[in-house]
Amino acid sequence: MIAKKLSEAKEYVAPNHRACSTLRLFGAEAGGSKGLIAGVSHFLPGGGAGPDASPPEKVYYVLEGELTVIVGGKETVLKKNDSCYIGPNESREIVNRSNQVCTIFVAVAAPPA
């Protein structure tokens, strides 16, 4: 087992993201997992990511606040304890349209080595 405190997580720059802070927990440069990249993202009001698509599968789990996820022109508002799955190469946009910070846990399939 590898345990990590949130205070030990390192910030990283996520492409095509705005008004957010992203922290890597495991995978990629954070080490630990080879098949999964896990992190926590904090989106300020008006912050978000995309629209874009990428090959890895993604799961978003809302820890605090609310997040609007737009896929195929359909908008879904996720609130605390809600989650969603984004399939490989599925175009998505996420936006925090609330006036509070939205915090999500993100799990992304790591690219093959």
What residue ranges in 2-112 does DSSP mark as E strands? 10-11, 17-26, 36-52, 58-64, 66-71, 74-79, 83-86, 92-95, 102-109
- Kindly report the CATH number assigned to the domain that includes residue 27: 2.60.120.10
Q: What is the pLDDT of residue 112?
A: 74
92 within some domain? yes
Query: 57: helix, coil or strand?
Result: coil
Do the domain assignments include residue 1?
Answer: no
pTM for this predicted structure? 0.94
How far is Cα 5 from Cα 78, in angstroms, rounded to an integer? 26
pLDDT tens across 6-39, in order?
Answer: 999 999 999 999 999 999 999 999 999 999 999 9
pLDDT in tens, 75-100: 999 999 999 999 999 999 999 999 99
Taking phi over 0 as left and psi of -120 to 50 as alpha, with beta for the rest, 83 belongs to beta
Q: Which domain holds residue 87?
A: 9-109
